[in-house]
Amino acid sequence: MRLTGKKIIALVDEDFEDLELWYPIYRAREEGAIVHLVGSERGKTYIGKYGVPAISDYAYEEVESADYDAILVPGGWAPDKLRRYDKVITLVQEMNEAQKPIGQICHAGWVLISAKILNGVTVTSTPGIRDDMENAGAIWKDESVVVDGHIISAQRPPDLPPYGKAFCDAVAGK
């Protein structure tokens, strides 16, 4: 249980990609981490693209990056909504400044783009937002998972096993 005592924020909003939210959460919880789902409202039920619900533990405004060891940004259409919240951008920027692990998969790169933290960072994402990532200054790789320091990125749901491991490795400090 190498993540015992570690606390992770998992951002959530409507139309998250079901597997891209839940797989890394369960993976981190299996290793002992405490993972809080954080949305625009505390206790709200958000519905994924395929109908899987997720109930937020906290609202964005109720959490502080200093209280957490890492953050997960899911894919799906949720990132387009997430990046519109100032507090989400602040959380990601603060995590980046503190060099805490930031996990992003598929379209989640949109949130990191809006946080303006990708200049010179090597990442991957769904190929559909490659241009967006590169225009934000990222070095985009066509690989299933890319780790550049504290930023862990993956392309799609089939990449979840190596992404989950790479994220947990980063949280564990390996």
Active site residues: 107
Measured torsion, CA atoms of residues 132, 138, 143, 146, in degrees rounded to the nearest 10 = -130
- Residue 59: other Cβ atoms inside 10 A: 16
Tell me which amino acid residue 163 is: Y
| Alpha helix segments (H runs only) across 31-157 | 78-82, 86-97, 109-114, 130-135
| 76: DSSP letter | B
Instruction: Write phi, then psi, for 38 (nearest 5 degrees).
Output: -125, 120
The answer to whether 171 touches 101, Cβ cutoff 8 Å, is yes
Please give the distance of CA 12 from its chain centroid, rounded to a whole number. 9
Tokens representing residue 7 in the block? 């606390």
**Distance in angstroms (rounded) separating the CA atoms of residues 79 and 119:** 19
